[in-house]
Amino acid sequence: DADVTQTPRNRITKTGKRIMLECSQTKGHDRMYWYRQDPGLGLRLIYYSFDVKDINKGEISDGYSVSRQAQAKFSLSLESAIPNQTALYFCATSDVGDLNEQFFGPGTRLTVL
Amino acid sequence: AQSVTQLDSHVSVSEGTPVLLRCNYSSSYSPSLFWYVQHPNKGLQLLLKYTSAATLVKGINGFEAEFKKSETSFHLTKPSAHMSDAAEYFCVVSDRVGTYKYIFGTGTRLKVLA
């Protein structure tokens, strides 16, 4: 079984709808991250969480919110989806330590019409 | 502030010839550096990581990278390209203090010609 899972894998929605993307991990890591990937831009950090009570904005948090329900679960919400939020979204986890290698989920492809 | 620049957005090589994907970084502290690969419609897979133990880092599938502090570079190389190497490659820098956040390059798409 995969260590980092994301649901759904694909989602098509309409402008104005609320969407939740979920991430679960079995690696036992405290740190979790949400990124979005757009062609030609690489991955950009939306939110990150270093433990259940610690949530921080990344470089592109506007229009998004997150919830860390447990050590293993980190959800990303789009309160009112807009077309320019169409992207590939990745969840990642990492352990405490100075190397901070991150492990990525398979991604969720979101299309907002 | 950290930053990373991948100098080529697209690279084309013939099968069996060497691969060079270039990456320059900027970091206030001694950084951690990574290369990830993303095959079409797939997630990200770690190719290799720089841990400061050795400047020449060997990764999976025959890839390696050399950390050159004086040039602030971490270029990815492979002696002989294979068709299965066609993918997008991301260079990543992360500080070892503070937030440990990843900063991604914009990616280099590698095309391998038969």
Q: Is A10 on the interface with B (CB under 8 A)?
A: no
Give the residue among B70, B78, B73 at the shortest CA–CA distance from B50: B73
Which of A15, A20, A34 shows the shortest CA–CA distance to A93? A34
CB contact under 8 A, A43 and B32: no
Question: What pLDDT, on the 0 to 100 scale, is given for residue B51?
Answer: 76
Lowest-pLDDT range of A81-90, B19-28, B90-99: B90-99
Q: How far apart are CA B90 and CA B106, in angstroms?
A: 7
Least confident stretch, A94-98, B25-29, B31-35: A94-98
Residue B99 DSSP code: T
DSSP state of B96: S
The 10s digit of each residue's pLDDT in B44-79 is 999 999 977 788 999 999 999 999 989 999 999 999
Selected residue of A46, A89, A102, A104 to mutate for chain B interface (largest B Cβ count, 10 A): A102
Q: Which residue of B has its CA nearest to A42?
A: B106
Asked whether B83 and B94 are in contact (CB, 8 A), the reply is: no
Closest chain A residue by Cα to residue B106 = A42
What are the pLDDT digits (tens) for A29-82?
999 999 999 988 889 999 999 999 999 999 999 999 999 999 999 999 999 999
Q: At residue B91, does pLDDT exceed 70? A: yes
Residue range B14-34: mean pLDDT, rounded: 91
Q: Which of A33, A42, A107 sits opposite B90 (nearest CB)?
A: A42
DSSP 8-state symbol, B16: T
